[in-house]
Amino acid sequence: MSVLEDCGDRELCDAVLYGVGAMAEFQRRYRRSLESFLLGLCQPSDGRSREKAIEIVSQVLAECVTGNPSTLEKWRGNDHLEAFLRKVAHNRLKSWWTSREAQTEVNSESSAMMTAISSGSDTVPDREELAMAGEALRIGVEHARSLSPEGLVFMRLKGLHGVDQRTISSIWGHHEAQTSRKISEAMRFIRHAATEHLAAKGCGTDLAMLQLALQAEPSILLGDEGVPLTAEQIALLRRLASETITFQRRNEAIHLMCCNTKALEWFSGLIRQTPVVPMDHLRDASFSGVYAKLQDRMKQIATLLRPCDVRGLVTPQISDAFADALHFIRANGGTLWLLCPGEAMLEAVFNPCEPEIIGKRQPMVSGIVSLVMATSESMRIDDVSVHQHYSPAVDSSLGKMTRAMLAVPFRWSDSTCGVMTAVRHRDEPFILSEFEIFERHAHLLEKHLNYSLQTQILG
């Protein structure tokens, strides 16, 4: 048990502000309760508000250490800290509800879109307007199919067929955040193309009419009825659901599900109903106690590991794998930053392309890397120099200028303790696909380093 778990609000607040490595405990104590509080204020069908609520909680927690002054500095200690944080988050959500963004946004979650399809309405729209809205939505869906086919498939699987987002992410082999981004991307393409078409026809951007058009004709979003699947197509979908397949074959499966609703329906039923079959023949009960002890030991050591200790865990294979990932996305360099135990500082542990950065330190109260550490959220920054949390300290010490950055949380035993970054020193932002590739490689490197630590413990 962490010593900080038993401390009061004021002691924890002071620890976060004045240098003790307490941010992880701070996140553990308040994030889930704040999310539950804000989500309780949102309608279950209002996907956009629920998405915004989670985003606001991350912002509020990040500003506890990164604001100027920080949120914790504004807290006077006169009331309960959690009550104070709830008030800040609630006010921000209320402000967003009254903003133009919230009032003019089509639902950005496919679950909300499904609600629009299934719910009744007393409004009797003009037939001509309804037909134009339906035509605009068809154009929007075609736009999303060409620019974000994966996002359209994810959106239909989640919102229209009830497939859990975690299941989708597991099958595609990436983080849930990537699934959310793909769904939001597809919805954005649909909204943009639909509203552009309406504007070209001289119509106002009546988003309510778009929802009524969906309600009247669900096939706009679902797609046409589709044709029966061939044995070869069924085999392809089975492979996608049960094993790793090549990029080309995966694209074939995505294209099939985009164009044929029967394929999407069959695949959704397969992944929702197929039970996970445990490989009992691999299990050995005599190892169960050993595994539990190993996990306990990992958690104990994770709180004590210093950056210099972690350098000893970086094998040549790990370094080469990181270098290959950076080369693949055309990054100039990439760094693993780790939190120093007992200090509010992040230290560069290794960088296979720019070894001169190793040992550089950055305070937890400044910098984009510190923001990712505090929020446990991945970030893609197109222009680092204009970001409000940019700190030039490391760039100045190296005589370089970072232009674009990718940053992904790094974890020991399910606790965020550092950040993996990729940077470019030229004026060329990372694109979304490069961000997703780096996230996958970062999580693999995280697993490799955790495995390296396990082998050290076991000797």
Per-residue confidence at 331, pLDDT binned at 50, 70, 90? very high
Supply 139's token pair. 């154009």
Query: Residue 158: which region, alpha, beta or left (left: phi > 0; alpha: psi -120 to 50)?
Result: alpha
Q: How far apart are CA 162 and CA 453, in angstroms?
A: 39
Q: Are residues 61 and 194 in the same domain?
A: no
pLDDT in tens, 40-92: 788 766 777 787 888 888 888 877 766 566 777 777 665 677 778 888 888 88
* Cβ neighbours of 436 (radius 10 Å): 22
pLDDT in tens, 19-36: 545 566 677 778 888 888
Does 201 fall in a domain?
A: yes
Q: 422: domain CATH number?
A: 3.30.450.40
Does 293 fall in a domain?
A: no
Per-residue confidence at 424, pLDDT binned at 50, 70, 90? very high
Does 296 fall in a domain?
A: no
- The CA-atom distances, in angstroms, between 404 and each of 6, 355, 388 are 41, 19, 14
Per-residue confidence at 415, pLDDT binned at 50, 70, 90? confident
Q: What is the per-residue pLDDT for 112?
A: 44
Per-residue confidence at 273, pLDDT binned at 50, 70, 90? low
Q: 79: domain CATH number?
A: 1.10.1740
Q: Are residues 96 and 121 in the same domain?
A: no
Supply 121's token pair. 């309405």
Does 290 fall in a domain?
A: no
Single residue among 273, 290, 318 that ends a domain in this structure: 273
Query: Any idea which of 16-25, 289-298, 333-342, 370-379 has the lowest mean pLDDT?
Result: 16-25
Does 381 fall in a domain?
A: yes
Q: Are residues 312 and 387 in the same domain?
A: yes
Supply 144's token pair. 């999303």
Q: Tell me the average pLDDT across 255-264.
A: 86
Q: Are residues 87 and 143 in the same domain?
A: no
Single residue among 103, 135, 154 that ends a domain in this structure: 103
Q: Tell me the average pLDDT across 394-403.
A: 85
* pTM, full prediction: 0.48
139-143 long-range CB contacts below 8 Å, 24 or more apart?
A: 139/193, 139/194, 139/197, 140/189, 140/190, 140/191, 140/192, 140/193, 140/194, 140/197, 141/190, 141/220, 141/221, 141/223, 142/193, 143/189, 143/190, 143/192, 143/193
Q: Are residues 114 and 98 in the same domain?
A: no
Q: Are residues 156 and 63 in the same domain?
A: no
Q: Are residues 259 and 138 in the same domain?
A: yes
Q: Are residues 247 and 361 in the same domain?
A: no
Query: How many separate domains does the chain show?
Result: 3
Does 406 fall in a domain?
A: yes
Q: Are residues 133 and 257 in the same domain?
A: yes
Q: Are residues 96 and 115 in the same domain?
A: no
Q: Are residues 99 and 116 in the same domain?
A: no
Single residue among 75, 103, 131 that ends a domain in this structure: 103
The whole domain housing 337 covers 303-458
Q: Are residues 321 and 264 in the same domain?
A: no
- Average pLDDT over the chain, rounded to an integer: 77
Does 297 fall in a domain?
A: no
Q: What is the per-residue pLDDT for 120?
A: 43
Contact 346, 370 (CB under 8 A): yes
Does 280 fall in a domain?
A: no
Contact 436, 178 (CB under 8 A): yes
Supply 114's token pair. 């499904």
Q: Tell me the average pLDDT across 139-148.
A: 86
Residue 265 pLDDT > 90, yes or no? no
Query: Residue 162: which region, alpha, beta or left (left: phi > 0; alpha: psi -120 to 50)?
Result: left
Q: How far apart are CA 364 and CA 338, in angstroms?
A: 11
